[in-house]
Each structure stands twice: as structure tokens, then as C-alpha cells.
Structure 1
Amino acid sequence: MKEESPKAIFYALAANFGIAVCKFGAAAFTGSGAMFAEAIHSTADCGNQLLLLFGLKRAQAPANALHPLGSGREIYFYALIVALLLFFVGGAFSVYEGAHRLMHHEPLSNPVVALVILGVSVVLEAFSLAGAIREIRKGAPNKTLWRWFRETRESELLVVAGEDVAALLGLAIAFAAVLMTMLTGNPAYDAAGSIGVGVLLMIIAFLVAREVKSMIVGESASPEVRKAIDAHLRARPEITRIISLITLQWGKHVVVAVQAEMIDYASGRAMIDAINLVEEDLQRAFPQVRWVFFEPDIARDRGQAPGL
């Protein structure tokens, strides 16, 4: 896996700050509930990106007696907090604001201004999403975005991409709501737009939280990395059979635990030297593999093929 990069987070932070300022101004000028919901959403996104940057910094803390493998997985905690904020601050508040306006039928003024601001916001959000996609394509050039979403181990990029997709879809909903209100004079469309934005944010926040939760529980390395490590070890002349291979994603690094049957060696020292060579070559071939735990053993057939 490539080194974690905050570029996509900085793209999103710059875009969302500019968008939030524009949306708050437009919401105050027009009285649009959908626009106000979008402004809250963009403000929450700015806080989310700052949390992710803080999480990346914390994940770089060195190993110690309490955390012998380091703090790489701490970024998962902050990614989960961001997903929860997206759900409650962005989604739930937008639904509440829309329901409130739906009951009170608050009028919308100067809708053209709101539509212009929404158009500008679409351009800025597209800039942010394009930056996230560039980062995604560096590590997964041939995957669909949905497959990448399900298989990635980069929680911070997962959150940023999820936020950007939610933002663009939310802007489309808000634009349609304001336009319908302008054409019909019925403020219920604007209120319904706010509710729609909120529901959308909650759905995407749930999907993001589900993926991050899986990382917190403990996921293996990505499927392609896991298979490549398995193939690399099976090709080693020192190994006659892989009994068990476990990979564990630890932030930007990978932990590998191998149980394997070795060829016969004249002495225990010769076997230790062979194991050290296998470990060194594995880490050379896969720089993200920080820790390798290798156990030589004798395969015991139990009616199942050895695997990952």
C-alpha cells in the first residue's frame, strides 16, 4: 500500500471552507432551509478534515511498551468519529431543519442567489472529489470506485471520498429543491430538499462507518496484497508448504504471521538463517510489511487445504 498522503484531505478542507462561507452568506440572504443545511454540512466537513489530519499525526507516534506495534490504527478511530459527525451533525440536523421549515412554511427569498452559490459550490466540490479520485487511482488504477470503497484500507481517503460524493449529491438535491421552490412558489420543496440532503448524508455516513468499523475490528491486508504475499512465500525455495498465513493491516503498515514447513537443514542455525533471509526478502518486496512473525512447523493434514 502506498504511503498515506494528506493531499486529498487538504483539497477537501480548502474546498469546503470556501463553500461553507458562500453557503452561509446565501442562506442568510435567501432564507433557504436547504441552503442552510448545506452550509452546516460544509462546516462539519471542515471540522472532519481537521480531525483526519490530527488522526494522521497521532498515527505516526512511535511504538512503546504500551503500544508495541505503534499507533498506526489510531487513524481508524478518528475516521469513525468523522463518520458519526457526518451522520449526526450533517445528516440529523439537516433532517431536523427541513422538518421545522416544512411545518412552518418559511418563505424563500432571492432564490437566484442560492442557485448561483450552489453552482459555485458544485465546481469547488468537484475539485475536491477530483483530488480524492487522483489519490485513489494511484493505488487502485483498475478498480471500480465501489470495489475500492469495499476493499481499501485507507480510512482517511475513504472518509474524504465519501464526504465528497455526499456533498455533490447533496448539492444536486438542494439545487433541485431551490429551483422547484422558485418555479412554484411553494417553500415545501425547499424544506423537502433539506430533509433529502440529511437522509443522503446519514446513508453515506452509515456506509463509511461500516467500513471503518471493520478496520477497527481488524482487517487483513487488501486482497491483492494478501495474494501477492502468499504467492511470494510459496515461490521461496526454503519453504515446502505454507501451513498458515495471516496478514493484518495496521494503519499504513502490515503485520504478517507465517507458519510454514521448511526444507531439511543440517542445523537449527541454518534454518534460522534461512528464515531471516525469507523475512528480509519479503520486506524488500513489500515495503509496507513492517513486522513478520515466522514459525517453522510440520504440516498436519486435517482434511482442509492450507490457506490464508
Structure 2
Amino acid sequence: MSDSSGSLKTILFALGANTAIAAAKAAAAVVTGSGAMFAEAIHSTADAGNQILLLLGVSRSRKPPSADAPLGYGKEIYFWSFIVALMLFSVGGLVSINEGLHKLQNPEPLSHPFIAIGVLVFAMFAEGAALRTCLQQVNKTRGSQPLWRWFRESRQSELIVIFGEDLAALVGLSLALAAITATLITGDPMYDALGSCAIGVLLVLVAILVGREVKELLVGQGVEPRVRAAMLQFLEAQPEINELFNLLTLHMGDDVMVAIKAEMSDPGSAVGVARTINAVEARFREAFPEVTWLFFEPDIKD
């Protein structure tokens, strides 16, 4: 639950930051006529909408199990995270590219460019704070993993989405700032239009990367490789287990399902085997508290 609460805090912080940033960018886009600023306003508005969708996903993923969903609704967060990736691709990326192409065909000079630059600098500080909050939560679970490896192997889709959005936002702001500065120096609005196109391409690429990772979770992924290795090591060290035949895991949002098939060291009576398994299960749950469903099958062969 602590990880879930931390993720919720990260989403709420990002929502507040992006709402304020979107309003500032939209006002600056109207005043300056900047295509790059308009693209950034669309980007931040889409991000704020995405965070609302993530909040919906978190809420729905906490619904208790039912007859129709005996393993709960944890995967709801994966579905809504995938919708966010599609929104980032379409609303954020494609609309920004379209705006840039329109500005290339119909160039317009910038007015009050220093207003745009001031808003971008403010937005960079705000997005930096949002990314810092996200990284604080990421660092609680990634251990010594590099960020790229965490991104590929993490099972927390909401953090994957927020991290991707925040990182894209900072890079996008840098592109917008460079485009507007180049336009200011040269007087050529083409740089502003190219900035809008570059921001759109960036958002499309990030959306594809995020969508690919969330798709894997929707299809069904087990625990991270390092967690699976720790589970195997734990089970093989239990004196009650003679041979471990199989270990299957499945992530369901914040919850994990585990199925174990093993030969017990001292079969004994059926009651004795049941008590032995219960003891192993209790220790396993204590070592891996994220495990909600645990199924243990004693056998003599795989």
C-alpha cells in the first residue's frame, strides 16, 4: 500500500503542476502566436488529462475481487495507462506536428517573445519539481538499477507513464526554448514551426516507448527478474522443499499472484504436508508482502 500511496502522490503532484503550466503556456501562445508554445500548451493540457485518467485507473484498480473478477481489478491501471499512451501519441504528438506543419506553410512573426521565454523557464522549474517527485518514488523500488533498465522491467505502469511524461516535458520545453530563441535572434519564424514539429516527434516516440511497456503488462507479466530470482533463492533454501519444479508469477497492478509446484522433503500424511506447506507459505508471504494470491501444489514430478 505504501508504493500505491506514493504513486498516487506522484500523480497528484504532476496533475497540479501540469494544470498550472498548461494555463500559462496557453496564455503565452495566444499573446505571442508561437507554434512551439502552442504545441507545448497542447502537451501540458494532454498531460493534465492523462493524470486524471491515471487517477481513475488507480481508483478502479482498488475495487475488491468479485465473482466475475476473482483475482481483483488490479489490471485496470494497465488499461488506463495504455489509454494515456494513446492520448500522448494522438493529442500530444500528432496535433503538435500538425501545428508545426501549418506554421511552416503559413509563417507568422512572433510577438512578445520574451513572454514566451519567461513562461518556458517557469515551466521548466515546475516540470523539474514534478520529475524530482517522480524519481523519489522510482528510487524506492529500482534499487541500483539504471533508469533505462527500471523503465523496461518495472511493473508500476503509472510511474512508467509519469516518468515518460515528465522527461518528455523537460526535453520538449528545451526544444521550445531553443526554437523561440532562434526565431528571436534570426527573425525567421521557420525555427518556431520546426520546434513545434520536433516536440510532436518527441511525444510520438515517448508514447510508443511507454505504450510498448504497458502493453506487456496488459498481456500479462510476472514479477521483475530480480524479484523472481529472490523468490527462487528463498524457496530453494527452505528445508521442507526437496525439489522446486516450477514457479509462476503474474502481476495484477499492485498485487502479485504466485503458483508453486514442488516436491516436499518429508511427504508424511496429507495433514502433515498441508501444515508444512502452510508454514512455507507464511514465511514466503512475510518475505514478499506484495503477494496476494499464493497457490502451492505438492507433487513428485513436474
Structure-2 residue corresponding to 1:10: 12
- CA distance in 2: counterparts of 1:71 and 1:100, whole angstroms: 43
TM-score (norm 2): 0.97
Matched residue, 2:242:
240
The match for 1:254 is: 256
For residue 266 of structure 2, give the secondary structure of its aligned residue in structure 1.
coil
Distance 2:76 2:16 in 1: 24
- In structure 1, what is the equivalent of residue 171 of structure 2? 169
Quote the offset at 1:272 in angstroms: 1.1
Match of 1:62 in 2: 64
Structure-2 separation of matches of 1:13 and 1:266: 58
Q: How many residues align?
A: 300
Aligned-partner SS, 1:71: coil
Q: Equivalents in 2 of 1:276, 1:282: separation in Å?
A: 10
Deviations 1:175-234 (A, max 9, x none): 000001011111110000000000000000000000000000111111121111111111
Could you report, residue by residue, the CA deviation over 1:233-275 in whole angstroms, capped at 9, with x for unpaired residues? Answer: 1111110111011111111111111110111332111111111
Give me the whole-angstrom Cα distance separating, in 2, the residues matched to 1:97 and 1:107.
15
Q: After the TM superposition, which residues 148-159 of structure 1 pair with which residues of structure 2 at under 5 Å, given as runs?
A: 148-159=150-161
Aligned to 1:211: 213
- Alpha-carbon distance in structure 2 between the residues aligned to 1:290 and 1:136: 22
State the alpha-carbon separation in 1 of the partners of residues 255 and 226 from structure 2.
15
Q: SS state of the match for residue 247, structure 2? A: strand
Aligned residue for 2:147?
Answer: 145
Aligned to 2:185: 183
* Deviation larger for 138-147 or 18-27: 138-147
The aligned residue for residue 103 of structure 1 is 105
CA deviation after TM superposition for structure 1 residue 143, in Å: 1.6
Report the alpha carbon displacement of residue 297 of structure 1 after superposing the two structures with TM.
1.1
Distance in 1 (CA, whole Å) between partners of 2:120 and 2:99 is: 18
Equivalent in the alignment of 1:128: 130
Corresponding residue of 1:224: 226
Tell me the residue number matched to 2:40. Answer: 38
Please provide the CA RMSD for this pair. Answer: 1.1
Looking at structure 2, the residues matched to 32 and 24 of structure 1 have their Cα atoms a distance apart, in angstroms, of: 10
Give, in whole Å, the separation in 1 of the partners of 2:143 and 2:15: 24
Residue type of the alignment partner of 1:223: P
Relative to structure 2, which stretch is displaced further, 77-86 or 7-16? 7-16
Q: State which drifts further: 262-271 or 67-76.
A: 262-271
1:141, 1:121 → 2: CA distance?
30
Q: What is the CA–CA distance in structure 1 between the aligned matches of 2:299 and 2:105, rounded to whole Å? A: 70
| Deviation of 1:41 (Å) | 0.6
Alignment partners' CA distance in 1, 2:248 and 2:44: 41
Could you say which residue in structure 2 is the equivalent of 1:73?
75
Letter in 2 for 1:133: L
Shift of 1:299: 2.7
| Alignment pair present for 1:115 and 2:117 | yes
Partner of residue 288, structure 2: 286
Q: Which moved more, 1:242-251 or 1:197-206?
A: 242-251
Instruction: Measure, in 1, the Cα distance between the counterparts of 2:143 and 2:186.
Output: 45
Give, in angstroms, the shift of residue 106 of structure 1: 1.7
Give the SS at the match of 1:256: strand
SS of equivalent to 2:3: coil
Query: What stretches of structure 1 move > 4 A for 4+ residues in a row?
Result: none
Match of 2:278 in 1: 276
Secondary structure (helix, strand or coil) at the match of 1:258 reads: strand
Residue in structure 1 matched with residue 22 of structure 2 by the alignment: 20
Asked if the contact 1:261/1:297 (under 8 Å) is kept, the reply is: yes
Structure 2 gap segments, 5+ residues each: none
Question: In the alignment, which residue of structure 2 is the partner of 1:306?
Answer: none
Instruction: Report the identity percentage.
Output: 50
Measure the CA separation in 1 of the matches of 2:3 and 2:293. Answer: 16
Instruction: Quote the offset at 1:2 in angstroms.
Output: 5.5
Letter in 2 for 1:149: F
CA drift of 1:3 comes to: 2.6
